[in-house]
Amino acid sequence: MADFRKVRTVFLDRDGTINVKAADGEYVTAPEELVLLPGAAKAVAALNAAGLRTVLVTNQRWLSEPAADAAGFTAVQDRLERLLADEGARLDAVYHCPHAAASCDCRKPGAGMLVRAARELGFALAESVMIGDSESDMLAGRAAGTATVLLRAGGAEADGADAVADDLAAAVRLILSGRESGLA
């Protein structure tokens, strides 16, 4: 089990972690398609209340397609931030990879987005945790040197994750209780 006592920053995947994931092969490309998962906003608010930095890191490969409209991503993100704010939650930073697979160093499972965030925001990756619903989230966290928490709902294998939780709310409870007790 991970020791969450040192955690100061929480990296959050978006689709399948904070909001309902689109069907396989599809993407959340319009604001009306974005629906928060139950308890997600309250979980982010709990991180905020505990003084932890929250950084969204999300692959958005659909933006690499010729017909993609970057304004769609911005509109979806705006809706996400409004829905979170409605429940007293906020994201401190948002990083996204708009590239097709294997065409960059920022796309998860690479660590590029996490490393960039740590450099730009001035924090230690060793004092961070990556929460997500996929193997690529866990691999990105591992590559960056963070602790990792896998959400079971994504169906990914737990191999390589420091901890496993049913959903974002459970992951946040695990991290916050670990910070208080030093156990996870």
For residue 9, what are the CA distances in angstroms to 24, 67, 93, 131, 156?
30, 35, 11, 11, 23
3-state secondary structure 91-114: CCEEEEECCCCCCCCCCCCCCHHH
Asked whether 65 and 58 are in contact (CB, 8 A), the reply is no
The verdict on whether 15 is a catalytic residue reads yes
The verdict on whether 69 is a catalytic residue reads no
Residue 58 CB neighbour total at 10 angstroms: 24
* Coil vs helix vs strand at 71: helix
- Of the residues 3, 15, 69, 166, which is catalytic? 15
Asked whether 165 and 40 are in contact (CB, 8 A), the reply is no
State the Cα–Cα distance between residues 106 and 111, nearest whole angstrom. 6
First-to-final CA distance of the chain: 6
Catalytic residues: 13, 15
